[in-house]
Structure 1
Amino acid sequence: MKATYHKYILNFKRPSGTSRGIMTEKETWFIILEKDSKRGIGECGILRGLSADDRPDYEAKLQWVCDNINLGENQLWEALIEFPSIQFGVEMAFQSLGSENPFLLFPSDFTNGKKSIEINGLVWMGEEAFMKQQIEEKLADGFKCVKLKIGAIDFDQELQLLRYIRQYFTPEQVEIRVDANGAFDTYLALYKLNQLSEFELHSIEQPIQKNNTDSMAELCKTTPIPIALDEELIGVFSLEEKEALLQKIKPQYIILKPSFIGGFRGTKEWILLAEKYNIGWWITSALESNIGLNAIAQWTFLQNNLMPQGLGTGALYINNFNCPLTVSQGQLWYKRELDWDFNFDL
């Protein structure tokens, strides 16, 4: 078996804002396997400044994987415990290589085009008018669940935007999720959650910065809005650490990004623990290209979670790869008649 790795820069159609700043491009890496004239591809979806494996030796570790590819998927996964995005890339590449079609990793009624996955519509941070425009577009597109990034503009303006949605749509008509990306000060968080509770939100992701576990546990106990942990899960590698974190914080939900938490195997560990402690969960992509998104979507369908999932469509980028994934009326579909546009000779 031969393995190679390749860097690829995804360019945003328009600058996209989070509480950590504005993004204009996104770096990603592909692992390509070749054996017996077949090829497989996996995406290592690192997000600089956030991923646990944003380290100076990242590329060297990719080279190590390619040099040691004959160790096999399981041994490599164990050796890559501190490199969750590479774990995911390795899992995906082996699954792709072992499939009849390198992009059809987990055949199901989803990949047959018979069933879809409900997803949330993502509203990016920006000026009030821009956020309002996005909200109107998502609702017009038939989304029943929208997720707003908050924490970058004035909080009163954000409350105004939520008030605007609720003026026209009841919680039964449109579910609203908000994601603070850790933007709230610890001492103000409960006050802000109480203000947000007026809008009957589904949940708030990561209201305060990760690693404030005492404060987060207290918030989860007293919050008027269900809290979902997101960044809090990054860098928690062992099963024992995962269980200890959930036992301590007792969140209402956890959000699972395979690129950040060790691929399918790491995600499955979190799911089993969440279900053990009656914690809700859903799966989210993390700005991967359509290669990674395709694998996440196919695997997510098999988990039988009927909540809206956080699976974007890759429509953010000008240089993504055409693929069978499409969105219609807030549902992600796999249209088999659409072809992939991907050149393995990157």
Structure 2
Amino acid sequence: MKATYHKYILNFKRPSGTSRGVMTEKETWFIVLEKDGKKGIGECGILRGLSADDRPDYEAKLQWTCDNIHLGKDALWDALIEFPSIQFGVEMAFQSLESETPFLLFPSGFTNGSDSIEINGLVWMGEAAFMKQQIEEKLAQGFRCIKLKIGAIDFDKELELLAFIRKHFTPEQVEIRVDANGAFSLNEALDKLNKLFGFQLHSIEQPISKNHTDRMAELCKRTPLPIALDEELIGVFSLDDKERLLQKIKPQYIILKPSFVGGFRGTQEWISLAEKYKIGWWITSALESNIGLNAIAQWTFLQHNLMPQGLGTGALYTNNFDCPLEVSKGQLWYKKELDWKFDFEQLD
């Protein structure tokens, strides 16, 4: 078996804002396996400034992985424990190589086009008018659940945007999730949660920054609306550490990004623990290309979680790979009549 790695820069159609700044491009990496005339591909979806494996030796570890591909998927997963995005890329590449075609990884009712995955519509941070425009577009497109990034503009303006939605749509008509990306200060977080409570939100992701576990545990105990951990899970590698974190904080939900938590195997560990402690969960992409998004979507469908998932990021880029994934009325579909427009030489 031969393995190679390739860097690819995804360009955003328009700058996309989070509480950590505005992004115009997204770096990603691919691992390509070749054996007996077949090829498989996996995406290592690192997000600089956030991923646990954003380290100076990242590319060297990709090279090591390719040099040691003969060790096999399971041994490599263990060896790459501190490189969750590479764990996922390796998992995906092996699954791709073993599949009938490189992109049909988990055949199901989703991949044959008979069933879909409900997703949330993502509203990016920006000026209030821009956010309002996005909200109106998502509602017009038929999304039943929207997710707003908050924490970058004036908090009162964000409350006005929530009031705008609730003026026109009840919680039964539109579910609202908000994601603070850790933007609230430790002292003001509970006060802000109380102000948000009036808008009948589904949940808030990561109200304060990670690694303040005592304060986060207190917030999860006292919060008037459900809290979902996201960044808090990044860099928690061992099963024992995962369990200790959930036992201590006792969140209402956890949000799982396979590129951040060690691929399907790492995600499954978190799901098993969440269900043990009666914690809700859902899966989201982490700004991967359509190659990574396709793998995540196919696997997510098999988990039979009926909550809206965070898998609507395929249309963000000007140079993404054309694929059968299509969003319609708040649902992600796999249109098998649409072909992949992908050539491995595109990566060279």
Bin the TM-score by the shorter chain.
over 0.9
For residues 111-130 of structure 1, the C-alpha deviation after alignment (integer angstroms, 9 at most, x for no partner) is: 00000000000000000000
- Partner in structure 1 of residue 70 of structure 2: 70
Matched, 1:37 2:37: yes
8 Å CA contact 1:313, 1:326 repeated in 2: no
Q: Secondary structure at the match of 2:312?
A: coil
Structure 2 match to 1:280? 280
How much has 1:314 moved relative to structure 2? 1.4
SS in 1 for 2:261: coil
Deviation of 1:313 after TM superposition, in Å, equals: 3.8
Amino acid at match of 1:3: A
Once the two structures are TM-superposed, the CA of residue 198 in structure 1 deviates from its matched residue by 0.5
Q: 1:196 maps to what in 2? A: 196
Corresponding position: 1:153 with 2:147 = no
The answer as to whether partners of 2:287 and 2:313 remain within 8 angstroms in 1 is: no
Ranges of 4+ aligned residues in structure 1 off by more than 3 Å: none
* Distance in 1 (alpha carbons) for counterparts of 2:284 and 2:124: 15
Matched residue of 1:27: which SS?
strand
Alignment of 1:133-172 (within 5 A): 133-172=133-172
The separation in 1 between residues aligned to 2:76 and 2:209, in whole angstroms, is: 31
DSSP 3-state at the match of 1:260: helix
The DSSP-based 3-state class of the residue aligned with 2:326 is strand
Q: Corresponding residue for 2:257? A: 257
Query: What's 2:215 paired with?
Result: 215
Shift of 1:267: 0.1
Percent identity for Structure 1 against Structure 2? 84
Show structure 2 runs of 5+ residues with no match.
none
Aligned to 2:116: 116
Contact map agreement 2:143 2:329 (CA 8 A) in 1: yes
Aligned counterparts of 2:75 and 2:317: Cα–Cα separation in 1: 34
1:90 alignment partner, SS class: helix
SS of residue in 2 equivalent to 1:259: helix
User: Do the aligned residues in 2 keep the contact of 1:313 with 1:325 (CA within 8 Å)?
Assistant: no
Structure-1 separation of matches of 2:178 and 2:201: 8
The residue number in structure 1 matching 2:98 is: 98
Residue of structure 1 equivalent to 2:338: 338
Say if 2:285 and 2:313, in contact at 8 Å, map to a contact too. no
Residue-by-residue CA offset, 1:74-118 (whole Å, 9 max, x unaligned)? 000000000000000000000000001100000000000000000
| 2:113 is equivalent to residue 107 of structure 1 | no
Give how far 1:319 is off.
Answer: 0.2
Once residues 209 and 78 of structure 2 are traced to their aligned partners in structure 1, the CA distance between those partners, rounded to angstroms, is 29
Matches within 5 A, 1:268-307: 268-307=268-307
Give how far 1:287 is off: 0.1
SS for the counterpart of 1:22 is strand
Task: Return the alpha-carbon distance in structure 2 between the equivalents of residues 225 and 62 of structure 1.
Answer: 41
Aligned-partner residue type, residue 95 of structure 2: Q
Cα deviation, 1:173-228, whole Å, max 9, x if unaligned, reads: 00000000000000100000000000000000000000000000000000001000
User: Offset of 1:57 from its aligned partner?
Assistant: 0.2
In the aligned structure 1, how far is the partner of 2:89 from the partner of 2:309? 21
Partner secondary structure for residue 260 of structure 2: coil
> What does the per-residue CA deviation read over 1:268-292, in whole Å, with 9 as the maximum and x for residues that have no partner?
0000000000000000000000000
Secondary structure at the counterpart of residue 247 of structure 1? helix
On the 8 A contact 2:290/2:322 being kept in 1, the answer is yes
| Cα distance in structure 2, aligned partners of 1:138 and 1:314 | 15
1:304 shift after superposition = 0.2
Paired position in structure 1 for 2:319:
319
Give the gaps of 5 or more residues in structure 1: none
Tell whether the 8 Å contact from 1:324 to 1:339 is kept in structure 2 after alignment: yes
Q: How many residues align?
A: 346
**2:242 corresponds to which residue?**
242
How many angstroms apart in 2 are the aligned matches of 1:129 and 1:318?
24
How far apart in 1 are the matches of 2:117 and 2:315? 17
Calculate the TM-score normalised by the size of structure 2: 0.99
CA offsets 1:25-55 (integer angstroms, 9 cap, x no match)? 0000000000000000000000000000000
Return the offset for 1:241: 0.1
1:43 maps to a residue whose letter is E
Cα offset, 1:244, TM superposition: 0.0
Q: Distance in 2 between matches of 1:334 and 1:301?
A: 11
For residues 233-256 of structure 1, what are the alpha-carbon distances to aligned partners after superposition, in whole Å with 9 as ceiling and x for unaligned? Answer: 000000000000000000000000
Give the deviation of 1:312 after TM superposition. Answer: 1.8
The aligned residue for residue 130 of structure 1 is 130
CA distance in 1, matches of 2:68, 2:254: 34
TM-score normalized with structure 1 length: 1.00
CA–CA distance in structure 2, aligned partners of residues 167 and 335 of structure 1 = 36
Q: Distance in 2 between matches of 1:181 and 1:46?
A: 17
